[in-house]
Amino acid sequence: MHRPNLVMVESTESTQDMAGKMAAEGFPSGAAVMALRQTRGRGRSGSEWISPPGKNLSLSVILRPVIEIRHAPLIGMLASIAVATVVDLACEPYQAFLKWPNDVLIQNRKIAGILSEARITDSSLEFIVLGVGINVNSSVDDFPVEMSDSLTSMSIITGRTFDLRITAERFLEALGELIARVETEGPSFVPSVWEKRWAHKGHSLVRDGIKGTATGIDSDGALLMKLPGGEIVRISSGAILAT
């Protein structure tokens, strides 16, 4: 199962930056880089992504999907589905669920996050760099104390240790199958597949102080929230607080 298009480095600032440079140099769709250590790992919304060296999967993959720009968020959601299948396999009988837009949860704790960054040239999507951080072998002591109730890892769930490269290859395999489906039928299947694993469907949510109910995912990946008066609002990005 060895993938020639997966590069492994000991240490880098962020695999996102490495993969972004590789994409700009013309590396093909599917080329990926993983690092045992990131000195400046990035999370969503400008946050830091901190992970103990050698324990977890930090991987970025270049994708060049032929889709409309408005559908680009679906690719991050697709990646969260692929991560969930890998986590399911490793953590059986526990099942992974998803938090909009693309966090992966197990036992109601975050086990993985996705950072999807697109480059748009001349009004078309040139490439996406998909960053995946999976908590693989972290122990509870590796997490900041204030977050130890909201984070988990494959190792904490199962009591086992996992090989990072094999985990990366399983993820790339699962992602490749979903991307192949996008290539043949377009990305319209993504919201319904994603919703099947949605942890918060029908739950109360708060957005900018406004309360509503999470009712669905729109065709471009936006979250649909129903207000108490029945009006449906679309949420395209930003933090959602579960109540």
- Report residue 3 as tokens: 């993938």
With CB under 6 A as the contact rule, the residue among 131, 187, 212, 221 that binds ligand BTN is 131
Shortest Å distance, C-beta 52 to ligand BTN: 13
Per CB under 6 A, 133 contacts ligand BTN? yes
The single residue listed with the structure tokens 């072998």 is: 137
With CB under 6 A as the contact rule, the residue among 59, 72, 190, 222 that binds ligand BTN is 59
Shortest Å distance, C-beta 232 to ligand BTN: 27
| DSSP string covering the chain | ---TTEEEEEEES-HHHHHHHHHHTTPPTT-EEEEEEESS-B-GGG-B----TTTSEEEEEEE-----GGGTHHHHHHHHHHHHHHHHHHHTTS-EEEETTTEEEETTEEEEEEEEEEEEETTEEEEEEEEEEE--S--GGGS-GGGTTTB--HHHHHS----HHHHHHHHHHHHHHHHHHHHHH-GGGHHHHHHTTBTTTT-EEEETTEEEEEEEE-TTSPEEEE-TTS-EEEE-SS--EE-
Q: Binding to ligand BTN (CB under 6 A): which residues in 12-31?
A: 14-16
Task: Name 208's Cβ contacts closer than 8 Å, sequence gap at least 6.
Answer: none
Rounded Cα distance, 71 and 209, in Å: 27
Per CB under 6 A, 44 contacts ligand BTN? yes
Residue number of the CB closest to ligand BTN reads 113
156 or 171: whose CB is closer to ligand BTN?
171
35 or 214: whose CB is closer to ligand BTN?
35
With CB under 6 A as the contact rule, the residue among 82, 104, 114, 190 that binds ligand BTN is 114
Stretch that binds ligand BTN, among 42-50, 92-100, 145-153, 196-204 (CB under 6 A): 42-50
Per CB under 6 A, 113 contacts ligand BTN? yes
Per CB under 6 A, 38 contacts ligand BTN? yes
With CB under 6 A as the contact rule, the residue among 41, 73, 101, 212 that binds ligand BTN is 41
Shortest Å distance, C-beta 190 to ligand BTN: 18
Q: Provide the mask over 147-176, with x wherever binding to ligand BTN is found by CB under 6 A and - wherever it is not.
A: ------------------------------
Interface positions with ligand BTN (CB under 6 A)? 14-16, 38, 41-44, 47, 49, 58-60, 103, 113-115, 131-133
